[in-house]
Amino acid sequence: MRKILLCLVFLALSFTVSADKLPYDITQKIYSLIPSLSEYTAVDSSSDDSLNYSIIFYSESKHSARVTTAADGTVLSYMVDSGSFATKKRLPKISKTQATQTAISFVERVASDIVGELNMKVFSNTYNSSGTGGYNIRFLRNVGGVNYSNDSVSVWVDAQSGEVTRYSRVWNKDMSFLPAHEIISKAQAEEFFKTNIKLKLRYNRKIEDGRVVPYLVYVPSLTASIDAVTGEATSQMVTAKTDGYKEITAIYDRTPMTADGTVISIENRNALLEGLKTGNEAQKRVREMPGLKIDSEYSPQQAKYYMDTNGDYLMTIRFVKDKEIADVTLNAKTLDIVGFTNSESVNKSGGEGVGAEKARAITNNFLYVYMRKYFDLLTASDATAVEVPGSGSFVVTYERTVNGIPYKSNYAQFLINPEGDIASLAFTWDNVEFESPDKVISLSQAYDVFFDRVGLSLIYMQTEAFFARLVYTVNSQVPAIIDAKSGIVLSYDGKPVKPKRSLSYIGLDGHYAQNIVTALADCDIFVSEGNVFLDDYIYQKDFIVLLASISPDGMPIYEKTGGITDEELDMIYNDFITKGVIEKNRVNKNGFVTREEAAMLLLRATGYKGVAELKGIFKMPFADSGEIREEYFGYVALARGLKLIAGSDGYFYPSKNLTNADALIMVYNYLSRP
C-alpha cells in the first residue's frame, strides 16, 4: 500500500512541477549515465545544504526512480521503485557471472571518476532472495593494492530483469592516505602483535540449555591493529558506548513476567512468587539512593517483573516527572540495583564536564555504598573513564575478574553527565561456576593457532579525521577466539567455527544433479558446510535450513553463506514450530529425513499445508502408493502434482531416506515452478 501511494504522489507531481525547477544540466547528465531512465520523465527535484540534488523520475510502465547527485552531477545513489513487491521466490534468470559483468559496466559508466581506485578483481557478490531476488555486488576502494573498506560502491542487479535497480556510492574525497615507502613484513607484524597487542586469557560466555556457561579463551587484549610502518598498536576512530542499559530494557520489553501476562501496577503489594519483593518495597529502596536523582517530584507509574538469562527475577519501576522518565531495575529478591536510566540527567550535556578522575570517584563511591559486595570483584583500580566526544559526559566501565582472569560479559557501566550526575547504569552479573584455569594451552601454542587459523591482514584504516594509514589488522573473516583448553578456533556462540558454504560437493562432475546444484549455488543455496557427498543422506537440520532459504514468510536473519551457528539453527526451528511446519516431537536435528517426510516439510514450509491435508481428493500415480503413510499421502500427491517430485521408474520409495542431491532437486523444482 505504501508503494502504491508513493507512485500516486509521483504521478501528481508530474502535473504540478514545472520543468524550469529541475536542474537541466544534471538531469541530462543522469540520462546519459543511466540509459535505462530514457523511458522516465524527471518530475521533481530538491537540494540540501551540501548542494546534493535528489531527482525523482516517473514512468507509466515502470513507476518511479530516485537519483541523488552531487552538485557536479556525480551520481551518489540510484533506486528504482517498481511499485510492487514479489513474495513468490523464484530462481534467477541471470547468473552471478552475468550480474557481475552488468555491475562492472554500470560502475565504469556511472563512477568513471573513481573506477581506477576500485578493486574490480576481488569483491563480494551475494544473492538476496527478497522481492524478485537480486545480486548485491560491492567494490571496495583500493589504494596502492590495499583495500580501504570505509569507501565503496554497491550495485544491486535484479535477478529477473538483469537490470541495475539500486546503486550507492560512499566515498570521502577528502581522505588522505599516508604513504608508506617501506612497511614491515607480516612476520614482523606478528612479533609486534605479541608485544603491543597480545593475546590474553579471558572467560567468555555462552548459553547451553538455557543456562549461562563461562568458558576460557585466548583473544586479542585490544581491539587495535599494528601500524605497518612503526609496529605500534593503533586504533580506528570510535565513539564511547553509552547505551548499555538498553540491553537490560530489551529483556524487559521482550519478556514481561506476570501471573496473567499483564503489567503489575506499583500499588500491588502482593509478590508474584514467594520471596519476591513488592513494588512498594522496591520504590522505597530507590528513594534510599540519592545518587539516582529520583526525588519526590517523580511519581511511580508501573512495575514489571521478568526473568533474565540466569533465571533471576528482576523488577523494573518507571518514574515520571512532567516529560522526564526514569527507569530503575532491581533484583526482585534482593533489591540489588541492576540498571538505571534518567532522561533528565542524560539530556544534560555540553561543557568541560567533571573530568575522568572525578567521574571515577563518583562511580567508585556509588559502587562502594550501594553495590558493596561487587566492588572488589569489579577491579575498581582498572576502571576506564572515556569522554563522550563533544558532550562533557564520561562513560566509566568496571569489568569483573575471576581467578585473576577478566570476564568482560559481567560489568558495571555508568554514564556521568557534565554536572556529575549518574545518568545511567548498566550492570550484568552471572551467578555461575567458573572452570579452573588449570590445563589450558600455553600462550605460545595459542599464538601458533591464532596466526595459522586467524591471521593478520594488511588494510588501510582511518585512524584520524581525514587520515588513513596502513595497518596489519586481525582477519575479520574468522573469529579471533581460541579455545584455551583445546586450541580450536571458536565462533561467537562458543562452538567450533564451521567452514563457509561453497560449491564443495564430492562427486559433482557428471552427477545427475550437477546443473541443478550449480544453479542453486548461484543463489547461495547449499546443502551444508564444507565437503558434502551428494549421494549421502541429508540431515534433518540441513534440510530445515534449505527450506528456510525458500520459505515465503519472513524468517529469522542468519548468515546464509557462512557456517550457521547453533543459535541461528534454533531460531529457524522455533520459527518453523510456531508456523506449524514441524512439530516439536519430530525435531531430530542429526537424524535423516524420509522422502515422504521431505514432501510434507517442503509443502508446509511453502504454505500448502491446508490443501495437502484435505481428505479424499488426491490420486496417487506411484506404483508403491500403498506404502505411503496416511499422514503423508496428501503431501506426496500434491508435491507430485506440482512437479516438485518425480520418483524413479514409477516408484516413489516413500520410506527411503532423502539424499543431499534429491533435496536440492526438490528446492530447485519449487523455485522453478510457473
Q: What is the pLDDT of residue 311?
A: 76
Residue 378 and residue 400: Cα distance in Å, rounded? 4
668: Cα within 13 Å, side-chain hemisphere: 19
109: Cα within 13 Å, side-chain hemisphere: 17
Whether the Cβ atoms of residue 659 and residue 537 lie closer than 8 Å to each other:
yes
Whether residue 530 has pLDDT greater than 80? no
Q: What is the pLDDT of residues 62-79, one digit of tens each?
A: 679 999 999 889 999 999
Q: Please, which pLDDT band fits residue 152 given cuts at 50, 70 and 90?
A: very high
Instruction: Report angle CA 184, 186, 192 to the nearest 5 degrees.
Output: 70
Q: What is the pLDDT of residue 18?
A: 39
Q: Mean per-residue pLDDT for 113-123?
A: 95
Residue among 119, 167, 124, 168 nearest 145 (CA): 119
Q: What is the pLDDT of residue 553?
A: 66
More confident residue, 389 or 214: 214
Q: Are strands 41-47 and 53-59 parallel, antiparallel or unpaired?
A: antiparallel
User: Which residue type sits at 289?
Assistant: M
Q: Please, which pLDDT band fits residue 86 given cuts at 50, 70 and 90?
A: low
Q: What is the pLDDT of residues 157-174, one digit of tens each?
A: 999 999 999 999 999 999
Please give the biggest Cα pair distance in the chain. 84
Local structure of residue 490 (DSSP, 8 states): B
Residue among 593, 674, 664 nearest 635 (CA): 593
Q: What is the pLDDT of residue 563?
A: 64
Whether residue 310 has pLDDT greater than 80? no
Q: Mean per-residue pLDDT for 420-428?
A: 92
Whether residue 187 has pLDDT greater than 80? yes
Whether residue 244 has pLDDT greater than 70? no
Highest mean pLDDT among 202-216, 379-393, 564-578, 646-660: 646-660
More confident residue, 82 or 225: 225
Highest mean pLDDT among 255-269, 357-371, 512-526: 357-371
Q: Mean per-residue pLDDT for 1-21?
A: 39
Q: What is the pLDDT of residue 267?
A: 38
Residue 338 and residue 426: Cα distance in Å, rounded? 7
Q: What is the pLDDT of residue 229?
A: 94
Q: What is the pLDDT of residues 544-591, one digit of tens each?
A: 999 998 887 665 555 555 567 777 888 899 999 999 999 999 999 999
Orientation of helix 660-671 relative to helix 514-521, angle to 10°: 60
Q: What is the pLDDT of residues 639-663, one digit of tens each?
A: 999 999 998 999 999 999 999 999 9
Q: What is the pLDDT of residues 442-483, one digit of tens each?
A: 999 999 999 999 999 999 999 888 899 999 999 988 999 999
Q: Exposed, middle or buried by CB within 10 Å (0-12, 13-18, 19+), for 650?
A: exposed
Three-state SS for 418? coil
Q: How far is CA 88 from CA 243, 543, 645, 671, in A?
A: 39, 20, 19, 9
Q: What is the pLDDT of residue 559?
A: 52
Q: 3-class secondary structure for 301-329?
A: EEEEEEECCCCCEEEEEEEEECCEEEEEE
Q: What is the pLDDT of residue 263?
A: 40
Strand partners, 140: 152
Predicted model pTM:
0.74
Q: What is the pLDDT of residue 558?
A: 52
Q: Exposed, middle or buried by CB within 10 Å (0-12, 13-18, 19+), for 656?
A: middle
Torsion of CA 654, 655, 656, 661, to 10 degrees: 50
Torsion of CA 632, 636, 637, 640, to 10 degrees: 170
Whether residue 262 has pLDDT greater than 50? no
Q: What is the pLDDT of residue 463?
A: 85
Whether residue 12 has pLDDT greater than 60? no
Whether the Cβ atoms of residue 468 and residue 459 lie closer than 8 Å to each other:
no
Highest mean pLDDT among 15-19, 36-40, 213-217: 213-217
Q: How far is CA 523 from CA 94, 96, 262, 545, 559, in A?
A: 10, 8, 45, 14, 13
More confident residue, 346 or 635: 635
Q: How far is CA 375 from CA 250, 289, 423, in A?
A: 26, 17, 20
- Arithmetic mean of pLDDT over the chain: 86
Q: What is the pLDDT of residues 584-623, one digit of tens each?
A: 999 999 999 999 999 999 999 999 999 999 988 888 889 9
More confident residue, 641 or 179: 641
327: Cα within 13 Å, side-chain hemisphere: 18
Instruction: Report angle CA 144, 146, 149 to the nearest 5 degrees.
Output: 125
Instruction: Report angle CA 283, 285, 290 to the nearest 5 degrees.
Output: 100
- What are the percentages of helix, strand and coil residues in the chain, rounded to 5? 30, 30, 40
Strand partners, 468: 177, 462
Residue 346 and residue 425: Cα distance in Å, rounded? 11
Q: What is the pLDDT of residue 45?
A: 81
Q: Mean per-residue pLDDT for 321-338?
A: 91
Q: How far is CA 535 from CA 84, 505, 600, 668, 670, in A?
A: 40, 10, 21, 17, 20
Residue 624 and residue 486: Cα distance in Å, rounded? 51
Whether residue 24 has pLDDT greater than 80? yes
Q: Please, which pLDDT band fits residue 392 given cuts at 50, 70 and 90?
A: confident
Residue 175 and residue 184: Cα distance in Å, rounded? 23
Whether residue 49 has pLDDT greater than 90? no
Residue 589 and residue 574: Cα distance in Å, rounded? 13
**Alpha helices, DSSP H only, in 401-486?**
443-449
Q: 3-class secondary structure for 344-404?
A: HHHCCCCCCCCCHHHHHHHHHHHHHHHCHHHHHHHCHHHCEEEECCCCCCEEEEEEEEECC
Please state the length of the chain.
674
User: Which residue type sits at 29?
Assistant: K
Whether the Cβ atoms of residue 203 and residue 434 lie closer than 8 Å to each other:
yes
Q: What is the pLDDT of residue 128?
A: 85
Whether residue 378 has pLDDT greater than 80? yes
Three-state SS for 170? strand
Q: What is the pLDDT of residue 165?
A: 94
Q: What is the pLDDT of residue 67?
A: 95
Q: What is the pLDDT of residue 554?
A: 60
Residue 208: partners with Cβ closer than 8 Å, 6 or more residues away: none
Burial profile 615-630: b = 16 or more Cβ within 10 angstroms, e = fewer: eeebeeebeebeebee
More confident residue, 484 or 527: 484
Rg (CA), the chain: 30
Residue 621 and residue 651: Cα distance in Å, rounded? 9
User: Which residue type sits at 631?
Assistant: E
